[in-house]
A and B are shown apart, each in its own frame.
Chain A
């Protein structure tokens, strides 16, 4: 089975902290994604990567950065966490223009 693993299910961080969300996939997929899920807004793409060290901005990249040093790992970084970044964060991986496989999500609360 394809596995996309996110390092934490729940996180509570303070405003201004630097936050790292880690994601690892075991299917040798080229493409990896970070989405944010909020009620009534669906899944919004923050960043995606189609190769090691490559990254592209999604629809809502402000306040976030990413790192992909190895093919299987894609990290989302909140440089200075703010309360409006409280959300569910979902990592996904996949092959071009086919099924995307999602992790279980990280529910981040910024206080």
Chain B
């Protein structure tokens, strides 16, 4: 019930291409869906997040698409750049009063070839 499943585990995209990472969840109580970006030697940092009242959120080249009925959400990186090479984690947070508990996917190692 608490799991978030992420795919693919690794992804190689040419510079300028579109990178797509997918996540699926089971718990219908999740109501906050962030994506985190992690560079080597650093902790994860929030990239973009969405709540289930919208189906899409765009920030620059990064877009989250959210399908509530299918319980799936995805990250799209347009015009992918070598600087986007990192590990990406999707996550979901249930609405537990008084506490925030982020459940993470398994991570996707993205490599953008120049």
Interface residues of A (CB under 8 A from B): 4, 31, 33, 35, 40-45, 48, 50-51, 56, 58-59, 90, 92, 94-100, 102-105
Lowest 5 A-B CB distances belong to which pairs? A102-B43, A50-B99, A43-B104, A42-B106, A42-B104
A43 to B6, CA, bound (A): 12
**B9 contacts A40, C-beta separation under 8 Å:** yes
**A31 contacts B99, C-beta separation under 8 Å:** yes
**A41 contacts B106, C-beta separation under 8 Å:** yes
Q: Closest approach, in angstroms, between the C-beta of B73 and any C-beta of chain A?
A: 15
Interface centre among A33, A35, A50, A100 (most CB of B within 10 A): A100
Chain B residues closer than 8 Å to A98, beta-carbon distance: 32, 100
Interface residues of B (CB under 8 A from A): 2, 6, 9, 31-32, 34, 36, 41-46, 49, 89, 91, 93, 95, 98-107
**A97 contacts B32, C-beta separation under 8 Å:** yes
Q: Closest approach, in angstroms, between the C-beta of B92 and any C-beta of chain A?
A: 11
**B93 contacts A97, C-beta separation under 8 Å:** yes
Q: Closest approach, in angstroms, between the C-beta of B72 and any C-beta of chain A?
A: 17
Q: Closest approach, in angstroms, between the C-beta of A1 and any C-beta of chain B?
A: 11
Chain A residues closer than 8 Å to B102, beta-carbon distance: 33, 43, 45, 92, 100
